[in-house]
Structure 1
Amino acid sequence: MFRPTYPLRTARLTLRPVTLHDLDDVCSWQGRPEVFRWTLSGPRTREESRSSVVAMAGEDALRAEGDCLTLAVVTEAEVIGTVELVWRSQTDRTAELGYVFHPGHGGRGLATEAATALLDWGFTEVGLHRIYARCHGRNAASARLMARLGMRQEAHHVESYLFKGEWADQLVYAILASEWATPASSPHGQPDGGTPGPRASRR
């Protein structure tokens, strides 16, 4: 089992497990249509957000292949988003990164800072070999975030999945442990958007 020593802290953020007390903050972004612009799911009611929070609250460690670790991203006592790692392959030491942030907190580099902390934990504490992330082909904000994290574009799958009744492209970015820079040399503080990757809003 791999479980961070909580909380994880960065210069401006605290990363910790989601709790039921986070419902109001989570509702503040899960009810917004723009958050789900590039995801297969849509805005949530409060009860749907409650179910989402309950599910995320149980995702506090990587216990077996297929598990998801989801962390609340907190600044000034407010949960402004979540970042997650899905353990895709134990043999190949591979995980998938996901994220979702309240759009009102975009442009300050907070998503980059939070994702950097989770990537660093995955490489240095879990011993992952490769971490990848995916987004809709037109989700420019998510693609820029992945590039800021040092991930390189590995693939552009053309019309690879059905998205709201239309065939859509998908971009795949990845980074290897051997390519990973330490947090001290990572691009903290650069502007980023609040648009999620596809995994982060799957619930």
Structure 2
Amino acid sequence: MTEPTLDVAQIAWPTQDQPLLTERLVLRPHRPDDLEDLLRFHADPDVVRWTPWVVKDHAATEEFLAKRTTMTRWHEPGDWLVLAVQRRDDGRVVGEVLLKWEGPGQAEVGYALASDQHGQGLAREAVAGLFRYAFDVLGVHRVVAIIVDANDASTRLAEQVGMTREAHLVEAVWFKGAWASEYVYAIRAEQFRQSPDLG
């Protein structure tokens, strides 16, 4: 068996005109007019509590968004694909999903959702849509999620999308002023495809 390769030039990356679609959501690259929607959750302490970034004001969110609009595809391992999560019914951007290229056949997932959108299954729908793209289009073999172990909502989401806990890393990362422990969750392509309500 040979090591898997990915020709990024041949991939159909999501665009504004050809986004990823789920039942209730559009997953597409960010654009400048996402600013006010993005600010709603980037400035929300309840959301930002578990993200790598800190609470942002308008100017910081605008600068952050400018970077996000360039993260539309992979070029080399270490790159992130960042997609806005937009509701199909009202057009509001309510979150983000992210996919990092970790190397041959490997990726890491990240996600954030506005707190007023919780409890509707939207994060699960968005992550499942991203997994479908990762496994079926990008040919990813395995996706991991690295989650601070106190983030119960995120661990529940990981399990809802078929991921299994593989490790508990005790005080493994300096996170927002203190040592934090992390869970490592993962799912392989075959596991995702065997889940009737996901793949």
TM-score by length of 1: 0.86
* Distance in 2 (alpha carbons) for counterparts of 1:116 and 1:62: 20
Q: State the structure with bigger RCO (CA 8 A, min sep 6), 1 or 2.
A: 1
Moved over 4 A (4+): none
Quote the offset at 1:109 in angstroms: 0.2
1:21-62 Cα deviation digits (max 9, x unpaired): 100100111111111112343200111101111111111112
* Distance in 2 (alpha carbons) for counterparts of 1:33 and 1:62: 30
Letter in structure 1 aligned against 2:91: A
| Corresponding residue of 2:133 | 121
1:84 to 85, 98, 110: 98
1:81-120 maps to which residues of 2 (within 5 A)? 81-89=95-103, 91=104, 93-120=105-132
| Structure label with greater radius of gyration | 2
| Corresponding residue of 2:188 | 176
* Distance in 1 (alpha carbons) for counterparts of 2:114 and 2:86: 11
| Corresponding residue of 2:5 | none
TM-score by length of 2: 0.88
Letter in structure 2 aligned against 1:78: R
Quote the offset at 1:97 in angstroms: 0.3
Letter in structure 1 aligned against 2:102: R
| Corresponding residue of 2:3 | none
1:7–1:41 CA distance, 2 compared to 1 (3 A): closer
| Corresponding residue of 1:152 | 164
1:1-203 maps to which residues of 2 (within 5 A)? 1=8, 2=11, 3-4=13-14, 6-75=18-87, 76-89=90-103, 91=104, 93-181=105-193, 185-186=197-198
Number of residues of Structure 1 aligned to a counterpart in Structure 2: 185
RMSD: 1.6
| Corresponding residue of 1:191 | none
Letter in structure 1 aligned against 2:99: L
Contact 2:162–2:195 under 8 Å retained in 1:
no
Q: Where does the alignment leave 5 or more consecutive residues of structure 1 unmatched?
A: 188-203
